[in-house]
Amino acid sequence: MDGTSFGRYRLQELIGEGGMGKVHKAYDTLTDRIVALKVLHEHTAADPGFRERFRREAHAAARLSEPHVVPIHHYGEIEGRLYLDMRLIEGTDLKTLLARHGPMPPVVAVSVVEQVAAALDAAHAAGLVHRDVKPSNMLVSARDFVYLIDFGIARSTQDKGLTSTGATIGTFHYMAPERFTTGQGDARSDVYALACVLHECLTGAHPYPGDSLEQQISGHLTAAPPRPSQVRPGVPAGFDQVIAQGMAKSPDDRYFTAGGLAAAAERALTTEPRPNAATTVVIGPGTARTALIGGPPQPHSLPTAMLHQGMDTTAQPGGDAEASALTPARRASTKRKACLLAAAVAVAAAGAVAVGYAPVDAPPPTTPANARPADALEPVRPTPTWSATHTPAPPSAPAGTRPTNPTRQSDPVPAPGGLPPSAAPDDPYFDDPYYADPHSDSYYPE
Q: How far apart are CA 21 and CA 17, in angstroms?
A: 6
Mean pLDDT to the nearest integer, 247-264? 98
Res. 366: pLDDT tops 60: no
Q: How confident is the model at residue 205, as a pLDDT? A: 96
Sign of the alpha-carbon dihedral angle for 136, 88, 121, 17: negative
* 445 — pLDDT class (breaks 50, 70, 90): very low
Res. 364: pLDDT tops 80: no
Q: What is the mean pLDDT of the chain?
A: 69
Q: How confident is the model at residue 17, as a pLDDT? A: 84
Q: How far apart are CA 106 and CA 342, in angstroms?
A: 14
Q: How confident is the model at residue 326, as a pLDDT? A: 36
CA-nearest of 214, 175, 221, 167 to 194 is 175
Please list the active-site residues.
Answer: 132
Q: What is the pLDDT of residues 306-341, one digit of tens each?
A: 323 332 333 333 333 333 333 333 334 434 433 334
Q: How far apart are CA 359 and CA 341, in angstroms?
A: 5
| pTM for the structure as a whole | 0.63
Check if the beta carbon of residue 312 is closer than 8 Å to that of residue 410.
no
Mean pLDDT to the nearest integer, 209-234? 93
Q: What is the pLDDT of residues 206-220, one digit of tens each?
A: 999 988 889 999 999
What HEC string does the chain produce? CCCCEECCEEEEEEEEECCCEEEEEEEECCCCEEEEEEEECHHHHCCHHHHHHHHHHHHHHHCCCCCCCCCEEEEEEECCEEEEEEECEECEEHHHHHHHHCCCCHHHHHHHHHHHHHHHHHHHHCCEECCCCCHHHEEEECCCEEEECCCCCCEECCCCCCCCCCCCCCCHHHCCHHHHHCCCCCHHHHHHHHHHHHHHHHHCCCCCCCCCHHHHHHHHHHCCCCCHHHHCCCCCCHHHHHHHHHCCCCHHHCCCCHHHHHHHHHHHHHHCCCCEEEEEEEECCCCEEEEEEECCCCCCECCCCCCCCCCCCCCCCCCCCCEECCCCCCCCHHHHCCCCCCCEEEECCCCCEEEECCCCCCCCCCCCCCCCCCCCEEECCCCCECCECCCCCCCCCCCCCCCCCCCCCCCCCCCCCCCCCCCCCCCCCCCCHHHCCCCCCCCCCC
Q: What is the pLDDT of residues 171-190, one digit of tens each?
A: 889 999 998 998 888 999 99
Mean pLDDT to the nearest integer, 276-301? 31
* 46 — pLDDT class (breaks 50, 70, 90): confident
Q: How confident is the model at residue 1, as a pLDDT? A: 55
What type of residue is 126?
A
Helix pair angle (94-101, 187-203), 10° resolution: 20
Check if the beta carbon of residue 74 is closer than 8 Å to that of residue 61.
no
Lowest-pLDDT range, 208-222, 226-240, 297-311, 430-444? Answer: 297-311
90-156+172-271: what fold?
Answer: Transferase(Phosphotransferase); domain 1 (1.10.510)
Sign of the alpha-carbon dihedral angle for 242, 248, 252, 257: positive
Q: What number does CATH give the domain 1-88?
A: 3.30.200.20
Q: How confident is the model at residue 412, as a pLDDT? A: 54
- Return residue ranges of the chain for CATH 3.30.200.20: 1-88
- Return residue ranges of the chain for CATH 1.10.510.10: 90-156+172-271
Mean pLDDT to the nearest integer, 381-385? 34
